[in-house]
Chain A
Amino acid sequence: MKISKTVSTLMFLPFLLFFVLFWIIPFVYGIYVSFHNWTVSGGNNGFVGLDNYIRILTPGSMYHDSFMNALGNTLYFVGISLVPLVVFALLLALLIENIPGKLKVVFRTIFFISYAVSVTAVSAIFKWLFTGNGGYINNVLQTFGLDSIRWLNTQPYAWIAILAATVWWTIGYNMILFVNALDEVDESLYEAAALDGANAWQRFWNVTFPSIKGVFVFVVIITVIASFNLYGQTLLITEGGPARSTMSLTMIIQNTIFSQNNLGMGSAMAVLMGIIMVFITGIQYMIGFRKDENG
């Protein structure tokens, strides 16, 4: 059946409408607001040019200190979460690919189901597990004669607790993407590699990985973006503590806008965060693209 351009355009319009309403306009409006002294309650109090950006980027103001602290924390979390969320997800997917058919469905469901749990429930569970005074993990440690650890109010343990919660919560999503990619790998390549006497590692490195590389790069990019948006876990498990060491960029932006009533400054922070994320994502694309060319 041939669909006319008019009909196809009309079918596309609902998407375009919502894309404009809920993406383009807020995006442009956010940039506009960031150049103004704008409060949530009072609205626009005048154009201030780059003043909001200058105060964030110039040492000596509380906005600079809180933004830079949160940026450092967020980058740290992106760094420590990338390997477990991508590599462990790939390992899980490989494991699932190599178990019998019926069990494969069962384990795929088990590993993915945690992704369906809300961040509030996940955080409540992990807060209880890692509570310093009488928490489950410390109880286990004490059973084995080990000292208790103040998981949630000392570092690096607070990050470990948040990382554990995040990995448990979201690893299933990446795993499903890898499982689907692995399903698409041409079986004949494995057969050819086996005939050539390739061992398991050689089969993975020379057949599997090149075949799923596109998905791998995609998973890395969406994982970095997701980790950049860290919010629920740090808000509900550590409240940004101890001493602001798990305060993420999103928490700072939320606080600046709604607690300090400073929509202009918060929008400037959000724009800067977006620029940083685009920059990092661009680098990832470039690296992935260059390797494709070389390959």
Chain B
Amino acid sequence: MKKLLLGSLLSSMVLLAACGNGETGAGDDTDNGNEEIPEEAADATVIRFLNGFTGGDGAFMKEIVDNFNDSQDEYFVNESQEPEHYTQFRTGDYELVVMHGVNLETYSMDGLIQPIDGILEDVGMSINDFHPAAEDLVGLTDGNYGIPLDIHPLTTFYNKNLTEEAPETYEDLVTLSEELQSENENLYAMGIPDSGLIEFYTLTLAAQNNVDLLSDDERYLNFAQEDLVDALWILHDMIYEDNISPEGLGLDGEFHAFMQDSEGDSGGNQTAVSLTGPWYYQAVSDAYGDDLGIGTIPQLGEQVAVYGNSHVISLAASVEDEDMLEGISAFIEFMYQPENLSNWAASGQAPLHTETMNYIEENAEDFPLPYQNQQMFDDYVAAPAVYQFGEQMRYMNETVIGRIVREENLTREELMEELETATGIAEEIADTAPEQ
């Protein structure tokens, strides 16, 4: 009897264990929302909306969502703000997800998102309701895979105590650095980091020097180009030739150097200008107040151009239910009213929606950063659409640019060897793409 009891318990246990071991896929039937659904929304259709806005911008998106939920009772948007939201999306159940533009190709090839043109059509919108830069961001071969939300380009902040206006050219930076150095040897025009925003610097320099990184077969990033060596060598010159940037700045060094006080106790190098991410706006604004200036990206190469990443709203591939699609349309229609989407601009992000851009222009004083950044949309260059873009860029981020920034004696030949290695890795990553 005892053996029977123990045997039954053990069998149940193993069975329980086996049952708990489901496939790891997008079909997991769990509630991944992090917001408690209120009683009054018990009968509403729940739209699970996932994003990675865990920083200061999260509160602004939440306000849009809350306003939508308060505006009607047929649908309830259950928003989840998760730091690892891509992993969450791959393994959980969501209807809407905010993605970075560079990830659309990957997630569409992996079959995780679907074209969203039907939603746009339902709400009477089209890609023409956005700045022309949007088309390159969301348009893949068989449709638009996201509704453009914003572009967050490389942004120019400057310290008005050290320079009256933002430098517009490479020569301006040289002149500014000479002036600052004559005052204080710890002062520089700007800082070049050895890691961090490398993707932004690399693609901006490539765009400013007319370098197309897409391989001939349009599968991977081809870094092994003499023109790219020339473009990236500008960073080396800025540090070791023209003394525009201090040597040896590390991760996010462009931001940290801008926040230094050259006359303070830290003894660090301070820069007058920072080419960094717009997400640092709150920090630099708190530090500098009225002395903070915002400019456009200087021309470092042959032409004016700027790269930045973007946020888009994508529809999960699993969404088919008509009622759910109607709810999503209602939410999108609500969000893309200028008075609502301007909440997103209030976070510092620069929306691509034309009507909202007009609204921002009319109220430029209330939206200084989005207003300044939307001036650069005409010169915006999107990243090539390749599978696993971030992974294809990884070796550039982790190794190549670091060597340019840290090694004074690096040669162009050595740089080309590194670019060939980076290209090889990018091609190998591209080979992991699922067959279409």
Contacts and interface: CB of A to CB of B under 8 A. Distances in A.
Contacts of B402: 153, 241-243
A42 B110 contact: yes
A259 B398 CA distance: 15
Contact of A152 (B20, B251, B434): B251
Contacts of A261: 90, 106, 110, 388, 432
Contacts of A148: 267
Interface stretch (B9-17, B233-241, B305-313): B9-17
A239 B23 CA distance: 31
Nearest to A240: B398
B428 A41 contact: no
Nearest to B191: A133
A42 B27 CA distance: 10
Interface string A1-38: 00001100110010011001100010001000000000
B5 A133 contact: no
B257 interface: yes
Interface string A131-144: 11111001100100
B171 interface: no
B91 A42 contact: no
A248 to B, nearest CB: 14
Given A20-B13, A21-B20, A43-B25, A153 B194 contact: yes
Interface in A215-264: 238-244, 247, 258-263
A45 B432 CA distance: 12
Nearest to B5: A6
B195 interface: yes
B434 A42 contact: yes
B112 A132 contact: no
Nearest to B9: A13
B132 interface: no
A21 B399 contact: no
Contact of A20 (B14, B23, B398): B14
B56 interface: no
B20 to A, nearest CB: 7
Given A6-B2, A21-B20, A41 B256 contact: no
Given A9-B6, A260-B429, A134 B110 contact: no
Nearest to B249: A133
A281 interface: no
Contacts of B115: none
Given A17-B13, A29-B21, A153-B402, A133 B251 contact: no
A102 to B, nearest CB: 38
A153 B248 contact: yes
A13 B24 CA distance: 27
Contacts of A83: none
A258 B87 contact: yes
Given A41-B110, A260-B388, A61 B2 contact: no
A95 interface: no
A153 B251 contact: yes
B249 A132 contact: yes
Given A29-B21, A132-B250, A262 B398 contact: no
Interface residues of A, number: 47
Nearest to B12: A17
Interface in A30-81: 39-45, 61-62
A13 B428 CA distance: 48
A150 interface: yes
Nearest to A24: B17
A133 B250 contact: yes
Interface in B126-160: none
B434 A132 contact: no
B250 A150 contact: yes
Which residue of B14, B246, B250, B265 has the most chain A CB atoms within 10 A of its CB atom? Answer: B250
B58 interface: no
A153 B20 contact: no
B52 interface: no
A40 B90 contact: yes
A239 B402 CA distance: 13
Given A41-B26, A42-B110, A134 B398 contact: no
A259 to B, nearest CB: 6
Nearest to A136: B266
Contact of A260 (B23, B111, B257, B432): B432
Which residue of A5, A42, A61 has the most chain B CB atoms within 10 A of its CB atom? Answer: A42
B56 to A, nearest CB: 18
B267 A134 contact: yes
B268 interface: yes
Contacts of B388: 259-261
Interface in A238-295: 238-244, 247, 258-263
B391 interface: yes
Please name the 3 residue pairs, one residue from A and one from B, whose CB atoms are nearest each other, closest first. Answer: A134-B268, A134-B266, A153-B250
Given A42-B110, A243-B403, A261-B106, 15 more contacts: A10-B9, A40-B91, A41-B111, A43-B23, A132-B248, A132-B249, A134-B256, A134-B269, A148-B267, A150-B248, A153-B250, A241-B398, A259-B391, A260-B391, A261-B388
27 contacts: A6-B6, A39-B434, A40-B87, A41-B91, A43-B25, A45-B434, A131-B256, A132-B250, A133-B246, A133-B250, A133-B257, A134-B266, A134-B267, A139-B267, A142-B267, A152-B251, A153-B194, A153-B248, A154-B248, A240-B398, A241-B402, A242-B402, A243-B403, A244-B398, A247-B398, A259-B394, A260-B391
Interface of A: 5-6, 9-10, 13, 16-17, 20-21, 25, 29, 39-45, 61-62, 131-135, 138-139, 142, 148, 150, 152-154, 238-244, 247, 258-263
